[in-house]
Amino acid sequence: MGHRLSKIYTRTGDDGTTGLGDGQRVQKDDERVEAYGTVDELNSVLGLVLAAPSLPEIVKTCLTAVQHDLFDLGGELCIPGYRLITPEHIAQLESTLDQLNDALPPLEDFILPSGGPATAACHVARTVSRRAERRVWTLAKREPINEEAARYLNRLSDLLFVIARILVRHERGAEVLWRRTRGKPSSGPA
């Protein structure tokens, strides 16, 4: 293993720049920093899901593996031209997604993000995954990226949706369905 951080603050970022993994310095709001920063945020939100008591073991195992992948993905995005996420990562997500989704009843309506703490945190993770994917595609407009990274985040958001469906049953028993007829404005004069 390389060197360990013995001092947490360096003051090198006080000018609004940060160092990439290859040593170059960029602005802190650079598209690349936005992309890997959002992946880091996603990993932290998954930590919130995992902090919930008594999660199903399959969810713990799955999300812990995803956290490792996201750490790799952040490292990939931090070093221009570096590749860590492969088609095998996506195939693993799809396999897990299919396995978990097969046990759930089919969806016939949209569901609202709700439930207990783990379910709600999982819905937040799902939306952060979508944002991370958008940030990666924004970066791709400027320079070549590993498209597997964006595909991974896309598939991950789908997996997190399915995990939220599992967790709501574990925590609360049922999903809250969106009612499309609720609060429709009247067509007559006011």
pLDDT digits (tens, 9 = 90+) for 52-100: 988 999 999 999 999 999 999 999 999 999 999 999 999 999 999 999 9
Residue 79 tokens, joined = 């070093």
Whole-model pTM: value is 0.86
Domain ranges of the chain: 26-171
Residue 74 tokens, joined = 């952040």
Low pLDDT (below 70) residues in the chain: 1-9, 12-15, 27, 182-190
Q: Which amino acid is at 81?
A: G
Residue 68 tokens, joined = 């490792």
Taking a C-beta distance cutoff of 8 angstroms, is the pair 32, 79 a contact?
no
Q: Tell me which CATH homologous superfamily contains domain 26-171.
A: Cobalamin adenosyltransferase-like (1.20.1200.10)
**What 3-state class would DSSP assign to 73?**
helix
CA distances from 116 to 91, 123, 158, 172 (A): 30, 11, 19, 7
Strand partners for 26: 18
CA distances from 38 to 11, 43, 98, 182 (A): 22, 9, 26, 35
- The pLDDT score that the predictor gives to residue 188 is 46
Continuous H helices in 79-146: 87-102, 117-142
- The pLDDT score that the predictor gives to residue 190 is 47
- The pLDDT score that the predictor gives to residue 105 is 86
CA distance 133 to 41: 12
CA distance 148 to 84: 9
- The pLDDT score that the predictor gives to residue 112 is 82
- The pLDDT score that the predictor gives to residue 52 is 93
- The pLDDT score that the predictor gives to residue 153 is 98
